[in-house]
């Protein structure tokens, strides 16, 4: 759910409920990684376990049928990434996080004798030898890096200009190897996208200005190294949050406290509104209280209040009385929809707390 959709949903509910206004703020919080490393694993080597691909030439190219009337060309290309660049980028990205005491790199291709790209796991003997030679506790190996690019050129009638885009998706695969263990501890298959766009007066001019194949592979390969990191290490997430400011004197005064970061004072006023108001105003107060507690990292309490807001919204929108075929839409149930979004976001934080604490224990022990 993007911040724009979230804001739109909130505005729908507010418009339906009368004269209300809302404020936006950003919140940064940490989420756990998919992988939990024992605190004893302090030194890691990042190794290139892909076969050498000397020229990284195009694997396949597909000229697609135009998807819309204004599209002129649509071309999809597939490449092998530059494993050396991806390995270096992965090692650098891991080192920047300061999660491990030491990150070393072995970016020479261990599978240099392979004729064609393939996924081949490190054997137990290879893992033990590399761990000993590199003086580390375990290995993170790049096993594969594939790139897909989609180049499009369209003509925008309203602007009388050509519009070109290059949308690139990377698919890095990494495996974690521990010494004296058969096979990898875990395999991480991840993907992400980068995007270029440009405007021009002519199709040929625009096509000539698009990123060249060599530069695309280089930049995409470097970007691919950063993608697995949030799957391997705890990471920060920036999210938008909203609170309602109008409707009563308490709500307006609480908004002043909220802007100044005086969450205890704001919560007192919001709770007072919750006790004295009904309907949507009661829901907004509970919604705000939940935010206040989240800003203080009291996630359990924030969840309790978000669920109260959701319960009231359920009654307001008559969710249980209207035939929905198990589908809840923003248009039909704006209040219930927006409160449910927030409940889900808090649930994500709540579920990750225990795992995050385990993953961050290594710093407490130090």
What pLDDT was estimated at residue 157? 84
Contact 176, 205 (CB under 8 A): no
Q: What is the pLDDT of residues 201-259, one digit of tens each?
A: 788 888 888 999 999 999 999 999 999 999 999 999 899 898 988 878 999 999 999 99
Give 335: exposed, middle or buried? Use CB within 10 Å, 0-12, 13-18, 19+: buried
What pLDDT was estimated at residue 15? 46
Give the tokens for residue 94: 């891991």
- Do β-strands 102-106 and 43-48 pair in parallel, antiparallel, or remain unpaired? parallel
Report the C-alpha gap between 206 and 190 in whole angstroms: 32
With 0.85 as the threshold, say if the pTM is over it: no
Low-confidence ranges of the chain (pLDDT < 70): 1-20, 52-69, 107, 109-119, 322-331, 365-366
Task: Tell me the sheet residues that pair with 235.
Answer: 31
For 191, half-sphere exposure in the C-beta direction (CA atoms, 13 angstrom radius) is 7
Contact 219, 4 (CB under 8 A): no
Report the C-alpha gap between 232 and 63 in whole angstroms: 36
What pLDDT was estimated at residue 259? 93
Give the tokens for residue 165: 């885009």
Give the mean pLDDT of the chain: 86
Chain Cα centroid distance, residue 109 = 30
């Amino acid at each position: 759910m993007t911040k724009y959709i979230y804001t739109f949903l909130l505005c729908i509910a507010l418009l339906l409920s009368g004269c209300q206004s809302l404020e936006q703020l950003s919140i940064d919080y940490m989420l756990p990684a998919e992988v939990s490393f024992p605190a004893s694993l302090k030194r890691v080597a990042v190794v290139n376990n892909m076969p050498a691909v000397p020229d990284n030439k195009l694997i396949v190219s597909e000229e697609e049928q135009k998807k819309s009337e204004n599209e002129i060309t649509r071309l999809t290309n597939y490449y092998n990434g530059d494993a050396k660049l991806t390995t270096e980028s992965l090692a650098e990205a891991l080192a920047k996080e300061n999660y491990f005491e030491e990150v070393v790199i072995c970016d020479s291709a261990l599978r240099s004798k392979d004729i064609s790209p393939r996924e081949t796991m490190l054997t137990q003997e290879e893992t033990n030898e590399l761990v000993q030679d590199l003086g580390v506790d375990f290995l993170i190996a790049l096993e594969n890096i594939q790139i897909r690019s989609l180049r499009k050129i369209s003509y925008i009638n309203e602007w009388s200009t050509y519009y070109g885009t290059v949308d690139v998706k990377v698919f890095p695969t990494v495996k974690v190897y521990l010494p004296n263990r058969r096979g990898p501890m875990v395999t991480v298959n991840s993907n992400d996208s980068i995007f270029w766009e440009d405007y021009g007066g002519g199709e040929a001019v625009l096509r000539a200005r698009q990123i060249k194949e060599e530069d695309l592979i280089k930049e995409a390969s470097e970007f691919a190294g950063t993608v697995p990191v949030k799957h391997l290490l705890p990471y920060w997430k920036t999210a938008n949050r909203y609170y309602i400011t109008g409707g009563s004197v308490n709500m307006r005064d609480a908004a002043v406290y909220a802007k100044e970061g005086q969450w205890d004072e704001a919560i007192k006023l919001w709770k007072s509104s919750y006790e004295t108001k009904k309907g949507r105003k009661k829901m907004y107060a509970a919604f705000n209280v939940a935010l206040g507690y989240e800003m203080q990292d009291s996630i359990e309490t924030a969840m309790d209040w978000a669920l109260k807001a959701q319960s009231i919204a359920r009654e307001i929108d008559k969710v249980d009385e209207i035939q929905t075929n198990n589908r809840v839409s923003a248009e039909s149930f704006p209040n219930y929809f927006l409160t449910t979004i927030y409940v889900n976001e808090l649930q994500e934080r709540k579920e990750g707390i225990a795992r995050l604490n385990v993953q961050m224990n290594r710093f407490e022990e130090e």
